[in-house]
């Protein structure tokens, strides 16, 4: 796991070179076909050397959910195990990781009337205003959400107004119940396999911001604007779809709508990407038993490889930290 631009893919490919691993992408935007440059999908040479599952298979007109990811990821995990290999889950969509490991918390069903009222408030005041409302009652969830992410803000406010309990507390109670029902203590989950949770991230925020700026400009040079133009020309896509609300695509779409000029588009794209990285790091800082590796470490690859080797060896030896699977 790791924030955007932290070097996850490069490190994962190095591990595939050394161990019998196969990558499963854990990225809520790389699932969509036609969203290539702006999602930083691996290039063809990388995919030949290190194939990625759950990549580039969904039409952007069809939203993809965390529940669907859990179903698809478990299927791919089983397929990789059947080949005698070990899944390496790589990405930055923390909700997908959490849902896979601990399941989805039982929450109230959608309330159409309440959602209509929330939509009306957002239309009048803007989603950032509702984000500030959420921060007052559920600062933990608000810290993880983009102030423009109307879909998730609406759901978090809906859950609070229906139950009087913050969404973050629902998730916390769900995880606690899972832990009580397992014998593995704090690391226990509904996931029936041993897990080695690792993250890579730059030590200094300025270094991460510099990498974000470098990559965003590279995406523009590679043709991000032309990519969004092709998506617009389809005629059946719109900027409220989850695929096109993602970082980079939203800003370029608004630029093509004439909402602002080229310089403003770049500025807003960089700000949105830095905010995404901040939210990802917020998730990671609260992740249990997570092993941190620094991108600047000259021995990064060796240290991570040694940790993976020890983890795989423990499984082969039938270690008592290996519950139901490989």
CATH code for position 148:
1.10.20.140
SS3 for 172?
A: helix
**Residues β-bridged to residue 87:** 22
- Separation between Cα atoms, residue 255 and residue 145, nearest integer Å: 23
Is residue 155 domain-shared with residue 256, that is, in the same domain? no
φ, ψ at 259 (rounded to 5°) = -70, -30
| Domain assignment of residue 321, yes or no | no
* Domain shared by 98 and 158, yes or no: no
Residues 107 and 166: their CA atoms lie apart, in Å, by 11
226-275 residue pLDDT tens: 999 999 999 999 988 889 989 999 999 999 999 999 999 999 999 999 99
Q: Are residues 201 and 302 in the same domain?
A: yes
pTM of the model: 0.80
Query: Do residues 205 and 286 both lie within one domain?
Result: yes
Q: Is the dihedral of CA 9, 217, 151, 283 positive or negative?
A: positive
Distance CA(277)–CA(259), nearest Å, equals: 25
**Domain containing residue 149:** 112-175
Q: Are residues 248 and 304 in the same domain?
A: yes
- Would you write out the chain's pLDDT as a tens digit for each of its 326 residues? 999 999 999 999 999 999 999 999 999 999 999 999 999 999 999 999 999 999 999 999 999 988 899 999 999 999 999 999 999 999 999 989 988 998 877 788 888 999 999 999 999 999 999 999 999 999 989 988 889 888 889 999 999 898 888 888 887 777 666 555 554 444 445 688 999 999 999 999 999 999 999 999 999 999 999 999 999 999 999 988 889 989 999 999 999 999 999 999 999 999 999 999 999 999 899 888 899 999 999 999 999 999 999 999 998 765 433 333 33
Backbone φ and ψ for 227, nearest 5 degrees, come out as: -60, -45
Residue 124's Cβ-count burial label (10 Å; 0-12, 13-18, 19+) is: exposed
83 and 198 inside one domain:
yes
Task: Indicate if 87 and 201 belong to the same structural domain.
Answer: yes
Q: Does residue 46 sit within a domain?
A: yes
For 317, the token pair is 């030896």
Contact yes or no for 279/146 (Cβ under 8 A) = yes
Whether 3 is in a domain gets the answer no
> To which residue do tokens 């007109």 refer?
61
Q: Is residue 219 part of a domain?
A: yes
Q: Do both 158 and 206 map to the same domain? A: no
**Surface-to-core class of residue 21, CB atoms within 10 Å of its CB (0-12 exposed, 13-18 middle, 19+ buried):** buried
Question: Is 184 within the bounds of a domain?
Answer: no
Q: Are residues 196 and 85 in the same domain?
A: yes
Residue finishing a domain among 175, 210, 226? 175
- CA dihedral in degrees (153, 158, 163, 167; nearest 10)? -20
Q: For residues 307 and 92, what is the distance between their CA atoms, to the nearest angstrom?
A: 20
Nearest to 14 by CA among 270, 282, 293: 293
Q: What is the CB-side half-sphere exposure of residue 80 using CA atoms within 13 A?
A: 22
Contact at 8 Å (CB) between 152 and 171? no
* HEC secondary structure over 76-90: HHHHHHHCCCEEEEE
Q: Is 77 contained in some domain? A: yes
State the Cα angle at 58 between 52 and 64, rounded to 5°.
Answer: 100
Q: What whole-number distance in Å separates Cα of residue 5 and Cα of residue 308?
A: 22
Encode pLDDT of 308-318 as tens digits: 999 999 987 65
Same domain, 155 and 268: no
**Cα distance between residue 22 and residue 39, in whole Å:** 20
In three state form, how does the secondary structure of 295-322 look? CCCCCHHHHHHHHHHHHHHHHHCCCCCC
325 domain-assigned: no
Last residue of a domain, one of 175, 201, 230: 175
Decide if 15 contacts 304 (C-beta within 8 A): yes
Residue pointed to by tokens 């159409």: 112
Q: Specify whether 26 is located in the same domain as 87.
A: yes
CATH number at residue 30: 3.40.50.300
Listed residues 175, 204, 229: the one ending a domain: 175
Total count of domains within the chain: 2
Domain membership of residue 322 (yes or no) is: no
């Amino acid at each position: 796991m790791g924030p955007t631009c932290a070097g996850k893919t490069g490190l994962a490919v190095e591990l595939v070179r050394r161990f019998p691993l196969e990558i499963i992408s854990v990225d809520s935007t790389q699932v969509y076909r036609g969203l290539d440059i702006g999602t930083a999908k691996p290039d063809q040479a990388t995919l030949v050397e290190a194939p990625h599952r759950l990549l580039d298979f969904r039409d952007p007109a069809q939203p993809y959910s965390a529940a669907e990811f859990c179903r698809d990821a478990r299927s791919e995990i089983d397929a990789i195990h059947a080949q005698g290999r070990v899944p390496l889950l790589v990405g930055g969509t923390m909700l997908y990781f959490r849902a896979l490991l601990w399941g989805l918390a039982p929450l109230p069903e959608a309330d159409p009337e309440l959602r209509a009222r929330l939509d009306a408030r957002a239309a009048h005041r803007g989603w950032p205003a509702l984000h500030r409302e959420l921060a007052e009652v559920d600062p933990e969830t608000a810290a993880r959400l983009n102030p423009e992410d109307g879909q998730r803000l609406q759901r978090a406010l809906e859950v609070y107004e229906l139950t009087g309990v913050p969404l973050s507390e629902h998730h916390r109670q769900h995880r606690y119940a899972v832990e009580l029902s397992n014998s593995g203590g704090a690391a226990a989950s509904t996931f029936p396999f041993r897990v080695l949770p690792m993250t890579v991230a730059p030590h200094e925020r300025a270094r991460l911001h510099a990498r974000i700026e470098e990559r965003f400009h590279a995406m523009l040079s590679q043709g991000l604007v032309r990519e969004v133009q092709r998506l617009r020309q389809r005629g059946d896509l719109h900027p409220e779809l989850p695929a096109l609300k993602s970082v980079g695509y939203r800003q370029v779409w608004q630029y093509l709508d004439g909402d602002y000029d080229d310089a403003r588009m770049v500025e807003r794209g960089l700000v949105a990407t830095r905010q995404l990285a901040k939210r990802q790091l917020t998730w990671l800082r609260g992740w249990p038993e997570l092993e941190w590796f620094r991108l600047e470490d000259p021995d990064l690859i060796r240290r991570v490889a040694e940790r993976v080797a020890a983890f795989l060896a423990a499984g082969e030896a039938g270690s008592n930290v290996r519950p139901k699977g490989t």
